[in-house]
Amino acid sequence: MVLRAHKVQPEFVDDAVIVRRRVLVALDRAARRPIVLVATPAGYGKTVLLRQWIETRATDVLQVGAGTTAAWDVARRALARGRTVVVDDSHRLGWGDEFLAACEAATTEAPLVIATRIDPLVALHGQRLAGRVSELRADDLAFTVGELARVVARAGRRLDNDEAQSLFDETGGWPAGVRLSAGRTQRTAVHIGAFSPTGSYLVAQVLDSLDDDLVDFLRVTAVPEHFDLTLATALSGRADAGAVLDEVAHRVGFVTHDVESGIYHYHHLMRQVLLDELTRRAPDDVPGLHSETAHWQAERSEHAASGRHAAEARDWDLVADNAVALACVALADGSWSAVDALVAAIPHAVGTDDGRLHLVAAARALRVEDTDTVVAGDELSRAHVPPSVNIVTARHMDALTRLCRARLALSADRIDDVGRALGTPQPVLSEHDSLPRSPAAALRAAWAVTNGLVAAFAGARDDVAAHLATARRVGEGLVRVESAAAEIEVWAAFGAGDLAGAAAVLAGDPRLGDGELDSAVLVKDWVAFERDEQGTDDGQRGPLHAGGRAGVVPAREVSSARCALLRRTGATVPAQTVAADGGETWLVEHHARLSDEIALLGIGEVAAAATAFADHLAAMPVPPPDVEVRLHLARAVLAHRAGDATAASTALRRALDSTELHGWRRPWRELGSTAVDLLSAERQRVGRHADTVARLLVDLRGEHRGDPVGLVVALSAREDEILQYLPGTLDQAEICAALFISRNTLKTHLRAIYRKLGVESRREAVLRAESIGLL
């Protein structure tokens, strides 16, 4: 039952009002203390919440409003009688002695619930210190995305997830803002202004209650998206900006202060109303406020926002400076939309002869995914530094120009010119790179990526690792830096013949394994080729295919490497895939040389191939695993032919070590039937490679054995695989572990193998299988 201390009119039942159980539960939990403070700005649904909460209470509740005579005294008497009291709009009643007396009368059995727009700070200090106060704030009453969607649905609109999130971002979950925009028929951004439903509500409920000086302060400080006390003082001309902001937070709300960073920002909808009011009432002041904001943001490396405000102020010089800074970031991040927006805002007559904009155009023409070297070269030739430019922008331009020249050299396969274009190990800049996503951080990261790519071409993997570590450290948050570093890392592993390393990078970065990046496609094909993962028949495999978009590895480099690998598959090299004329990098030379050495194996010249492999390794600073494994195998073949079983086994075990690490299959296939002979001999020895030997024999023997004779029913593929383990030293438990099968499953297969071979024991099965060519 609800007792009201004043006469009320029958209430209209709003079907669009939803019951929010989470908030009611939060209020129930808060009511376990004597005093509950529900303090939020206007429009957060305090009255609706209290009405719903009262309806759920089993005990008598006295509801007191601002129109109640001697409201606090009425509340005190009801609390003393053990009734719960709810006071709405309590900020209109004052916080005098009567309020303090009512607070003292509240108990856990009869709590006092206070709804207010203004926090009674001093009046509640004693109660807070005594632990008698629970509080609900704006964050607690704001709509969630799901609640917002329910409210809008009640108004006749259905929102999908993206639309609901967009409306939440616009309103911040402010219930009044959501309700006032819920009935819109067009799915566009909320229209905000003094004459919009939301704007008129804020003007009437918030701004009209404030004195003119405070409203003026709010208007001018609403120009930036966020600000600190320094900017607030500069915009408002008030030395007491901090005290004013404290008053705004206390009396108005709709302002958030990050104590750690010192940054303030207004609620999005409130800011839009204030900007609309500023434009209508003081249009002549607007450009100067935008200019002040733009310079403050530029100092903080907030160049996209600074550029927008500079454009509003028609400060085209500052717009161009910001465009250069954003181009530095975009070169490392790949996002050019902010740059394009700034360049589009500059009048054509202003930007025609500006060297900064020509440099921006050159950098944009060198985007990784859409490179136009002709345009880039032309624009770069006109990218002079204006005499009046500040030192920060001048150094940005110098570093960006050097990076553009380096990329032009890479595009033309002039690798030696890249280092000359950069000139120094690090760009010379006038600011530190500690700010994430700043021009300085982006330039240093792009510089390190470029040096890492050059090191990959030279085969200096230690240098590659050092440069990429620098790029990742200073380029944190720059998406393109991370993807470029991963691409270079996998390309360096490919160049060094490190199959396991390349496979690990491909598996660790889904962007490389999605089949979209040309260089990654090639390395992925190489891994599959060396591991024989696409079947055993080259006729079914097809040639290594070109595909995907360009990355940081130049297209000519990828094409040259593809040519070298295609020669190894025996496929015809398509005309469009042939590498362009020019000096080959170490990486391409390595794979081309390996192709020639493998060709010697193909014609049976094992001794010549072994010599070539050894010479190849001697010429390398770090032995490439793809050459090393083939050298071990060639030496094993030569020792086997010479009858030196010990030397053959020693070389073979080194090849098996490498195979277990990298997963090689192609080097074994290149030996033909000799590989089966070597592995069959090794299987008779006790060693730790039994599982690898068995698996290799399963993979290889199908091509090089004769047809089994005297077998009525053929072995299944699984039985054939198990058979390869029987000559070795593994017991049944170890075979089960190697094949990931249960003991019962193994026994079932063994019984089938023995039955089909017509034997009764493991030893008899091995002898029978050898006699008919299964082993």
Average pLDDT of 66-78?
89
The set of residues, in sequence order, having a beta carbon less than 8 Å from that of 377 and lying 6+ positions away, is: 362, 408
Residue with tokens 């297969």: 749
Could you tell me which residues are beta bridge partners of residue 766? none
| pLDDT for residue 573 | 54
Report how far residue 331's alpha carbon sits from residue 773's, in angstroms, rounded to the nearest whole number.
62
Query: Strands 133-136 and 61-64, how do they pair?
Result: unpaired
pLDDT digits (tens, 9 = 90+) for 574-599: 544 444 444 466 777 888 888 888 88
- What's the pLDDT score for residue 495? 87
Token digits of residue 667: 């080097």
SS3 262: coil
Give me the pLDDT at residue 14, please. 59
Place of tokens 């060709």: 599
Tell me the mean pLDDT in the region 762-770.
78
Helix (H) or strand (E) run with residue 135 in it: strand 133-136
Q: Which residues contact 641 (CB under 8 A, 6 or more apart)?
A: 606
Judge whether residue 267 has pLDDT over 60: yes
Q: Which two tokens stand for residue 61?
A: 């509740």
Q: Would you say residue 151 has pLDDT above 80?
A: yes
Q: Indicate the DSSP class of residue 549.
A: B
Here the tokens at position 315 are 């400060």
* Number of helices (H), then strands (E), in the chain: 41, 8
Q: Which of 110, 150, 104, 146 is nearest to 126 (CA)?
A: 104
Do residues 446 and 407 make contact, with C-beta atoms less than 8 angstroms apart? Answer: no
Whole-number Å distance between alpha carbons of 445 and 474 = 6
Question: Which pLDDT does position 552 carry in this prediction?
Answer: 86
Query: Does this model's pTM top 0.85?
Result: no
The span from the first CA to the last CA of the chain, in angstroms, equals 91
Q: Which residue shows structure tokens 């006032």?
A: 180
Model confidence at 535, pLDDT cuts 50, 70, 90, reads very low
- Count of residues in the chain: 775
Residues forming a β-bridge with 256: 265
Residue 113 one-letter amino acid: V
Whether the CB-CB separation of 189 and 170 falls below 8 Å is answered with yes
Integer angstrom CA distances of residue 696 from 389, 667, 678: 67, 11, 11
- DSSP for residue 283: G
552 burial (CB, 10 Å; 0-12 / 13-18 / 19+) is buried
Both tokens of 402, joined, read 């050097």
Band of the pLDDT at 434, cuts 50, 70, 90? low
Least confident window among 179-193, 234-248, 318-332, 558-572: 179-193
* Average pLDDT of the chain, as a whole number: 85
Which long-range CB contacts under 8 A does 588-591 form with residues at least 24 apart? 588/557, 588/560, 588/561, 588/564, 590/459, 590/495, 590/496, 590/497, 590/620, 590/624, 591/495, 591/561, 591/564, 591/565
Task: Answer whether residue 259 shows pLDDT above 60.
Answer: yes
Rounded average pLDDT over 277-289: 94
* Domains (range + CATH), the chain: 2-141 (3.40.50.300), 191-281 (1.10.10.10), 306-463 (no CATH), 559-691 (1.25.40), 706-771 (1.10.10.10)
pLDDT tens sequence across 538-575: 433 444 555 567 788 888 888 888 888 887 776 655 54
What pLDDT does 16 receive?
Answer: 67
Greatest Cα pair distance, the chain, in angstroms, is 115
Strands 84-87 and 112-116: parallel
What pLDDT is stored for residue 303 in this prediction?
Answer: 94
Q: Residue 769 — very low, low, confident or very high, per pLDDT cuts 50/70/90?
A: confident
Rounded to an integer, what distance in angstroms lies between the CA atom of residue 285 and that of residue 722? Answer: 86
Lowest mean pLDDT among 205-214, 722-731, 738-747: 722-731
CB 43 within 8 A of CB 175: yes
Helix (H, G, I), strand (E, B) or coil at 459: coil
Q: Given this model, what pLDDT does residue 579 score?
A: 46
- The answer to whether 633 and 652 are in contact (CB under 8 A) is yes
Structure tokens at 31: 């009511």
Contact 85, 62 (CB under 8 A): yes
Alpha helices in 475-605 (DSSP H): 479-495, 499-508, 518-531, 538-541, 555-569, 586-602
DSSP SS3 for 369:
coil
The answer to whether the CB of 469 falls within 8 A of the CB of 501 is no
Decide if pLDDT at 505 tops 70. yes
Q: Are 318 and 389 in contact (CB under 8 A)?
A: no
What's the confidence (pLDDT) of residue 464? 93
* CA 64 to the chain's CA centroid: 52
Confidence check: pLDDT of 8 > 50: no
Residue 74 has pLDDT above 50, yes or no: yes
Out of 175-179, 266-270, 506-510, least confident range: 506-510
| Number of Cβ atoms within 10 Å of the Cβ of 402 | 20
Mean pLDDT of 735-758: 86
Predicted pLDDT at 425: 85
pLDDT band at 709 (very low <50, low <70, confident <90, very high): low
User: Tell me, what's the pLDDT at 570?
Assistant: 65
Query: Got the DSSP string for 584-620?
Result: PPHHHHHHHHHHHHHHHHHTT-HHHHHHHHHHHHHT-
Mean pLDDT throughout 270-279? 92
Assess contact for 444 and 418: CB atoms under 8 A: no
Q: Strand pairing of 84-87 and 35-39?
A: unpaired
- Residue pair 526/494 in contact by the 8 Å Cβ criterion: yes
Q: What confidence score (pLDDT) does residue 478 get?
A: 87
Binned at pLDDT 50, 70 and 90, residue 537 comes out as very low
Question: Do the beta carbons of residue 232 and residue 241 sit within 8 Å?
Answer: yes
Q: Are 53 and 24 in contact (CB under 8 A)?
A: yes
Phi, psi of 449, rounded to the nearest 5 degrees? -60, -45
Contact criterion met (CB below 8 Å) for 342 and 298: no
